[in-house]
Amino acid sequence: MKKEEQQRDIIIIGGGIAGLTAALYAGRMNLEVLVLESELVGGQIINAHSIENYPGFAAIKGSDLIASVQEQAEKYGAVLDEFDRIIRLDLTAQPKIVETESFIYHAGAVIIASGMTRRKLPLAKEQQYLGKGVHYCELCDGHMYQDKTIAVVGGGNAAIDAADFLTKYAKKLYVIHRGSKLTADESSQEKLKKQPAVEILLNTEIRDLNGAGALETLELYDKEQEERRQVPVDALFVNIGVIPNTQLFKGALALDEDARIVAGEDCRTNISGVFAAGDVRTKPVRQLTTAAADGTVAAILAEKYIQSLKEEE
């Protein structure tokens, strides 16, 4: 069956804070805007149970913040499709083509705010224990481990936030980090360290996973002592960083060595009318606030780009 073709002023790829902020601004400029997000609306922060560095809120759940921004964007006419999936792009065409499983869209401009995906645990048995002790979503799966021993691997903000959340279930909670110090905000670290169930293992790598059926032990390697040991755990929650969601754009857009889209503070990419916003863009600081700022810049400059096309006609 032939797919229905539709026109939009701007298509935003990704429904995190950058994409939704761009949608809000584009909507307020009376542009027809569609946000495509085939994973979770909100992106990485949807799992954050307490955000304490977003101006205006002493503390807010990631899901509440996102619901609020989404509602704000939709109020101004932005449409969000969180079930359709992009299968093909032609970003050099004018109008630009975004083909999903259900539609072929023609758009004046495209804003890419596809964000990042959590890095998988690089161990051979990761798949074997996935869902059976190895998890990536503490909000979804933490409840399975009431009064159990839980480990979190990672040392950044997401890992420490996950560990803090999991203390409500765990009788014992290990934070395992290969570096010599955690990289999360000092305030988050201090809060976690006050929890009596928490033990932080620095300079430590996970070398293997073991268990009959479900995960039962981690084989840890202490890099300082150069020793291996088995540590019994019921669950391991993985928070070891993120990778850019740029598979779709390889070959079309300029990417840096980490596969991020090369774009400056004006969010312009190497293709006219295509903007990159948020964590997916090359930049030195990645925060919620900087993602929102990118969404703002990208929407305003996308509007100017669309206007310039109309003036050329």
Q: How far is the CB of 137 from another protein (least distance, A)?
A: 7
Residue 223 to residue 246: CA distance in whole angstroms:
34
Q: Which is nearer to another protein, 247 or 307 (CB)?
A: 247
Residue 109: helix, strand or coil by DSSP?
strand
Question: Which of 46, 73, 91, 182 touches another protein (CB under 8 A)?
Answer: 46
Measured from the Cβ of residue 74, the count of other Cβ atoms closer than 10 Å reads 16
Q: How far is the CB of 237 from another protein (least distance, A)?
A: 13
Binding status of residue 137 toward another protein by CB under 8 A: yes
Question: Which of 3, 75, 85, 193 touches another protein (CB under 8 A)?
Answer: 85
In our burial notation (b when 16+ CB lie closer than 10 A, e otherwise), range 234-250 reads bbbbbbbebebbbebbe
User: Of 21-29, 52-60, 81-89, 221-229, which segment contacts another protein by CB under 8 A?
Assistant: 81-89
Q: How far is the CB of 40 from another protein (least distance, A)?
A: 5
Q: Which is nearer to another protein, 83 or 228 (CB)?
A: 83
Binding status of residue 242 toward another protein by CB under 8 A: no
Q: Report whether 86 contacts 110 (CB < 8 A).
A: no
Binding status of residue 59 toward another protein by CB under 8 A: no
Reported as half-sphere exposure (CB side, CA atoms, 13 A), residue 203 has a value of 8
Binding status of residue 143 toward another protein by CB under 8 A: yes
Q: What are phi and psi of 106, to 5 degrees?
A: -115, 125
Beta strands in 85-128 (DSSP E): 86-90, 96-100, 103-112, 116-118
Question: Which of 5, 71, 82, 266 touches another protein (CB under 8 A)?
Answer: 82
Binding status of residue 3 toward another protein by CB under 8 A: no
Binding status of residue 87 toward another protein by CB under 8 A: no
Tokens of 110: 């495209």
Number of shown-chain residues binding another protein (CB under 8 A): 18
Give the dihedral sign, CA 211/219/117/101: negative
Question: Which of 7, 53, 83, 223 touches another protein (CB under 8 A)?
Answer: 83
Binding status of residue 168 toward another protein by CB under 8 A: no
In our burial notation (b when 16+ CB lie closer than 10 A, e otherwise), range 16-37 reads bbbbbbbbbbbbbbebbbbbbb
Site for another protein in 183-222 (CB under 8 A): 214
Tokens of 139: 């909000």
Question: Which of 139, 262, 271, 309 touches another protein (CB under 8 A)?
Answer: 139
Residue 9 to residue 145: CA distance in whole angstroms:
47
Q: Please give the residue ranges that form the binding site for another protein (CB under 8 A).
A: 40, 42, 46-47, 63, 82-83, 85, 131-132, 135, 137, 139-141, 143-144, 214
